[in-house]
């Protein structure tokens, strides 16, 4: 799965004098998406329609609204573009300003789907992956050089470092077995590694 490379993106297309302004938002939950939709509709109160579609939880949650357009001509084609291109954690709102020419059902499907597709192209994408999260404890003598080496590794995301009687690295890695072996080599077997679940990372 993937998501948009920016937090918010806006793209406009024109079809037979109707303006279709597609705004993409990164969203983390149903509540987040609904809040964004409410704020967007309030800000674009003068639009003819504000149609919506969003995908969450790696495609397991998907919702859409035609907002007054004929049933199935706006929200569903918008949603199909998001899902068909493998996007998640994305809300699309297409704001239509009617230009005086009716498009018909087929024309609306193409216009709303096309608006989302163009917006996704403009926003760009980042791939998402689930990596193993680890807690790594080392002594102060090893910590400085180890932190520098960890930050250089492309297969590691260092989320945080805490200091107490030992230094603890909170990190995620693409291959836990490979990293544990590497850590043993770097610390002469002194690193204590404990699993800490999983973390989603952007690649």
Structure token pair of residue 174: 């693409």
Given a cut of 90, whether residue 59 has pLDDT beyond it is no
Share of residues in the chain with pLDDT > 90 (%): 96
Average pLDDT over residues 65-71: 97
Place of tokens 């573009």: 81
- Confidence tier at 31 by pLDDT (50, 70, 90): very high
Distance CA 174, CA 95 (A): 40
Averaged confidence pLDDT in the chain: 96
**Residue 97: helix, strand or coil by DSSP?**
strand
Band of pLDDT at residue 30, cut at 50, 70 and 90:
very high
Please give the pLDDT value at position 39: 97
Sorted by where each starts, the structural domains of the chain and their CATH numbers stand as 2-123 (3.30.230.30), 130-202 (3.30.70.240)
Q: Tell me: the pLDDT tens digits for 131-161?
A: 999 999 999 999 999 999 999 999 999 999 9
**109's tokens:** 């499907």
What is the CB-side half-sphere exposure of residue 54 using CA atoms within 13 A? Answer: 22
Sign of CA dihedral 97, 101, 103, 104: positive
Residue 58: predicted pLDDT: 87
Backbone angles phi, psi at 43, to 5 degrees: -70, -35
**Count of other CB atoms within 10 angstroms of residue 182:** 18
Burial (CB count within 10 angstroms: exposed 0-12, middle 13-18, buried 19+), residue 28: exposed
pTM, 2 dp: 0.82
pLDDT surpassing 90 at residue 86? yes
pLDDT at residue 43, as a whole number: 97
**Distance (Å) of CA 149 to CA 95, 144, 145, 157, 164:** 48, 9, 6, 12, 21
109-128 pLDDT, tens per residue? 999 999 999 999 999 999 99
pLDDT of the residue at 196:
96
Half-sphere exposure of 49 (CA within 13 A, CB side): 22
């Amino acid at each position: 799965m993937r998501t948009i490379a920016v937090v918010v993106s806006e793209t406009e297309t024109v079809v037979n004098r109707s303006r279709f302004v597609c705004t993409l938002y990164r969203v983390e939950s149903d509540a987040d998406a609904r809040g964004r939709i409410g704020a967007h509709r309030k800000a674009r109160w003068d639009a003819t329609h504000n149609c919506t579609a969003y995908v969450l939880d790696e495609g397991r949650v998907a919702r859409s609204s035609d907002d007054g357009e004929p049933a199935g001509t706006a929200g569903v084609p918008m949603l199909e573009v998001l899902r068909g291109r493998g996007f998640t954690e994305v809300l699309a709102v297409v704001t239509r300003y009617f230009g005086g020419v009716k498009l018909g059902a087929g024309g609306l499907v193409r216009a709303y789907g096309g608006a989302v597709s163009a917006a996704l192209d403009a926003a760009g994408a980042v791939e998402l992956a689930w990596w193993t999260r680890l807690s790594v404890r080392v002594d102060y003598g090893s910590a400085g050089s180890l932190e520098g080496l960890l930050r250089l590794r492309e297969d590691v995301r260092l989320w945080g470092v805490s200091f107490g009687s030992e230094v603890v690295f909170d990190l995620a890695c693409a291959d836990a077995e490979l990293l544990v072996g590497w850590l043993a080599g770097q610390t002469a077997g002194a690193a204590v590694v404990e699993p800490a679940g999983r973390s989603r990372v952007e690649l």
